[in-house]
Amino acid sequence: MKYCFRFCFFLFILILDCRNSDARQQPADTNAIHTWLKIATQKLDANEPDSAEYYILKANARAKELNLTKERIKCLGNYANLLFSRLRYKEALQVSQEQLSISQQSGNYAGAANAYNNMSIQYRSLGQLQLAAESMLKGIRLIEGLKDSVNLRKYYNNLASVFLDLGDARNSLYYSRKSVAIAMALKDTLLTARSMINLASSEVLDNKYDSAIAHLKQVINIAKSKEDADLLLYSYINVGEIYNKIMQPHIAITYYEKASAMLKKEPNTDFQMYTDYGMAYSYYNLNEPVLAKKYLDKVIVPAGELMPKNDLKEVYQLGSKINEQLNNASEALKFLKRYTALNDSIINEKTQKTIHEAEIKFQSSNKEKAIVQQQLLISNKNIELQKKNRLILISIVAITLLVSGCIIIYLIYRNKNQLIELSLLKAQIHPHFLFNTLNNLYALTLNKSDQSPGVVMELSHILRYILYECNTTTVSLEKELKMIERYISLEKIRYGNHLEVNMSLSGNLENHNIVPLLLLPLVENAFKHGIGKLAEEGWINISAGIKDNRFTFKISNNKLPSADGNAQRSDYGNIGLYNIRKRLDILYRGKYDLKIIDEEDVFVVVMKIELEPNKAGRM
């Protein structure tokens, strides 16, 4: 449950700025809009959501009719909040997307940041963690520029929650600590307590249980002093979760009983659901499956309707374990299948990789801004030392520094995304064939084969090319293809007579350049995902040529036929092809064509690129 507070905590931290009313005098129609929104809030507090929805939609219709952008953003924010509280996540997401569009068109950066935050929370509740992380990072970038500490704390806290779902202790700790630091700087005790809940969960993920319990006990004291019942319930449930984690279920039960006592006085379906789950988990740890199943049965129905997917999957996992203790194999298997299907739908390797790439870009952006700011600060200090005696010179220097700083910032922000992305893509290209070649070489030397010196020489040529000659922007097309030939000769040693490779070259290849290591992943792909899986003989056909400055590279190979066509195709949707397409988009946008043909037993890639002839080619 990766700490059961999170769904409830979403509702707790979803504080929308849209409820703030404008203190200035408004026209009659604008006052009517604010009055309807106020009535909607009162209806929500009175647990009359249908009436609240009526007044919000009425206010939004009037704002749209009068083209009042600010009021529309406020209405849409309130409506998204209402839909989310009623678990209508997809509808809430659509409303937030509309709020984002209007905010961007009107230049309302605060409204756009708020929309990104809400979209992230809605994506997370739908189990779409990749989109949740991307939306939250966009919101953080906007709010940092606005220097809005209150919302920045909230956004950091929400981003930490996404990394908690991903099981990423390092990043969840990093962002939850930033959230706590901002709350403490604001000297807001309640905000500090709310941020500490995520910090404690992150510490549990990092196996720092004592620290997590200490932080949650601080939250309990704050909740009691502020008479905040919701915050106190979060704390009791989370402390119980930790004691179950460290196999002290007797202590865990005492905290869940405290939560149950509060819920008897003031019932709440969400808190009751997580409390019952915690009791079931505790009795499972005590090896009392009958009592555990009693509490689990209370959870199953409301969990299926109310819990976010990331928490629901852990309910199913616990159901499987409890039924195993009861020797009920068929029920255990049903729960296990539900858990597996839900877990696979939430997170996979591609989601992890994409989110971490986005987070790396965000961190790199922050470092670049910090360097520029530090340089400007040093320059300003030097100017102050000369202020008394060199006023005219200082003015000139100050203007020069200002212009230079603006140019530097402009260049950094213009090129940073492509530079970071290219660096990441190029870093993924590594000669995995090196390990195979070294193994082959080891076998040849044991047999004292005459092929050993030739293998070493070919390998040294390839490594020299990759390590030294690929540091430039482009390389000779002839050299790139020569490296491909050497790579193939090394791979043929591994496959011997079981592999037939045909390679044909045409045109003036020496007169054109290409970005380095663009072709290698295609050839690696043919060996790794095609030939490498064949039990019988395989073949690879390669043709490369230049005609009228248009370079065409075609590679085809046979592969293992599969009864499940989708499974086979997923093997070919690997980093190599993704890497090439991304690099082509950046470096040859509008000048390339990439076609992939995936048949039952044949895989073909055809790549065409418009290349400029080099200087030697023009002479």
pLDDT of residue 297: 93
Q: Using CA of residue 196, residue 199, residue 205, residue 206, what is the dihedral sign?
A: negative
- Interhelix angle 129-146/109-125, rounded to 10 degrees, is 160
pLDDT tens across 468-520, in order? Answer: 787 788 899 999 999 899 888 888 877 777 888 999 999 888 889 998 888 88
Asked if 122 and 89 count as a contact pair (C-beta separation under 8 A), the reply is yes
Contact predicate 557/530, CB 8 Å = yes
> Residue 17: pLDDT band by 50, 70, 90 thresholds?
very low
Whether residue 23 is predicted with pLDDT greater than 50 in this model: the reply is no
- Residue numbers of the domain that contains 489: 433-618
Residue 324 identity: E
Q: Domain for residue 254, yes or no?
A: yes
Q: Count of H helices and E strands in the chain?
A: 26, 7
* Residue 207 in domain: no
Q: Are residues 522 and 596 in the same domain?
A: yes
Span 109-118, pLDDT tens digits? 888 888 898 8
Whether pTM > 0.85 for this model: the answer is: no
Residue 266 and residue 374 in one domain: no
Residue 605 shares a structural domain with residue 516 = yes
Are residue 481 and residue 607 in the same domain, yes or no? Answer: yes
Q: How many domains does the chain have?
A: 4
The domain that holds 290 is classified in CATH as: 1.25.40.10
Whether 204 is covered by a domain: the verdict is no
- Are 381 and 491 within one domain? no
Domain termination residue (choose one: 86, 118, 147): 147
366, 343: one domain:
no
Q: DSSP 3-state assignment of 544?
A: strand
Q: What percent of the chain lies above the pLDDT cut of 90?
A: 27
Q: Are residues 492 and 601 in the same domain?
A: yes
pLDDT tens for residues 594-610?
999 988 889 999 999 99
My answer on whether 515 and 556 are in the same domain is yes
Q: What pLDDT sits at residue 361?
A: 52
Pair (453, 599) in one structural domain: yes
322 part of a folded domain: yes
In this structure, is residue 505 part of a structural domain? yes
Mean pLDDT in residue range 399-426: 59
Which is nearest to 254 in space by CA: 269, 239, 267? Answer: 239
Residue 350: what pLDDT?
47
Last residue of a domain, one of 147, 181, 216: 147
Query: Under a CB-based contact definition with an 8 Å cutoff, are residues 271 and 12 in contact?
Result: no
Predicted confidence (pLDDT) per residue in 271-308, tens digit: 999 999 999 999 999 999 999 999 999 999 888 888 88
Residues 445 and 408 both lie in one domain: no
CATH of the domain at 520: 3.30.565.10
Identify the domain boundary among 386, 417, 448: 417
Residues 22 and 140 in one domain: yes
Say what the pLDDT of residue 250 is: 94
Is 191 among the domain residues?
no
Specify whether the CB–CB gap between 137 and 159 falls below 8 A: yes
In a domain, 203, yes or no: no
Contacts with 598 (C-beta within 8 Å, 6 or more apart), sequence order: 568, 569, 572, 604
Q: Tell whether 10 and 106 lie within a shared domain.
A: yes
**177: in domain:** no
Does the pLDDT value for residue 85 go beyond 90? no
